[in-house]
Amino acid sequence: MGGSGLVVRDLSVGYGPVRAVRRVSLEVPEGAVVTVLGSNGAGKSTLLRAVSRTLSFHGGAITEGSVSLGDRRLDGLAPDRVVAAGVSQVPEGRRVFARMTVADNLRAGALGAARSGRAAALARVHELFPVLAERSGQRAGLLSGGEQQMLAVARALMAAPKVLLLDEPSLGLAPLMAQRIADTVREINAQGTSVLLVEQNAALALRLATRAYVLEVGEVTLSGPADELAASDEVRRRYLGVVDEDAVAEADADAERAGGVRRTLTRWRG
């Protein structure tokens, strides 16, 4: 795939004797939005931690496999080198620095990147999220949930990443706000940043992504183009929910718009 895409190959991760991720392979081609779906405990966050090299904070380690960005191996690097290589993560639950101002949060986001790009990154972020410019002197802990999520995304963008990792950006947000975040992700992607989106909100994620992987108990059980997955009975029943007719209808519409309404899966493992 693409020259500087993110490639995860046969990755296994263990927390002590517990194996959280088993031989997972996935690719985020340059300029794509790829989503990883799965329920609680499926290993989604573990996967992102393995890419960002922050497993050690949770007592975990990669036991086999590799993570690389283009030709560059990321596994084995320190977290700050991963950021410098061009991979930034928006952690689950936002994790803004609550006692610091919005402006300082953004400065913190730029710490891992080259000094020269900071002004441009700040301008880009303020253009994406005008509200952050208005609130720049305010403590981040006083922002609303949606604003905090915007700040968390903006903070990650300050490092001008090639690949943005998003861990459940819609978690705990009102539907309207979740939609806003989704629009922003689309915009960020349109500006040339690849996105790896981890979500429980499958309807939202499948609308954004071009390619999707389904993770169950640490293994990839399903993968394929997002529209095909959105149309598959398995995903509809498990992740879109039979009662959520609107989402299904919308996913269907999306799939038809994309042409080729194949209801078969390209790959079906496990």
Partner 1 sequence: MSTFAEVLLNGVSLGSVYALIALGFVVVFRATEVVNFAHASLLLAGGYITATLHDDIGFWPALLAGIAGAALVGAAVEFLVIRRYRGNDHSVLAIVTIGVDILLTTELTRRIGTDVIPLGDPWGDAVLKIGPVSIAHTRIAAFVAAALLITAFLLAFRYTSWGVAMRAAAESGETAALMGVRLGRVSLGAWAVAGGLAAVAALFLTVFPTPGLERATSLAALKAFPAAILGGLDSTTGALVGGLLVGITESLATGYQSDLTFLGRGLGDLAPYLVMVAILLIRPAGLFGTKELARV
Q: Which residues of this protein are in contact with partner 1, per CB under 8 A?
A: 52, 54, 56-57, 59, 78-80, 83-84, 88-89, 91, 95, 97-100, 104, 107-109, 111-113, 155-156, 159
Cβ distance 97 to 104 under 8 Å?
yes
Degrees, nearest 5: CA angle 26-29-34: 60
Q: How far is the CB of 139 from partner 1 (least distance, A)?
A: 11
Q: How far is the CB of 158 from partner 1 (least distance, A)?
A: 8
What is the 8-class DSSP label of residue 265?
Answer: -
Residue 6 or 247: the one with the smaller Cβ distance to partner 1 is 6
**What is the number of other CB atoms lying within 10 angstroms of the CB of residue 35?**
26
Residue 152 or 212: the one with the smaller Cβ distance to partner 1 is 152
Q: How far is the CB of 259 from partner 1 (least distance, A)?
A: 39
Residue 99 or 257: the one with the smaller Cβ distance to partner 1 is 99
Beta bridge partners of 42: none
Residue 107 or 180: the one with the smaller Cβ distance to partner 1 is 107
Q: How far is the CB of 48 from partner 1 (least distance, A)?
A: 10
What is the 8-class DSSP label of residue 216?
Answer: E
List the one residue out of 235, 229, 199, 194 whose CA is nearest residue 211. 229
Dihedrals phi, psi of 240, to nearest 5 degrees? -95, -20
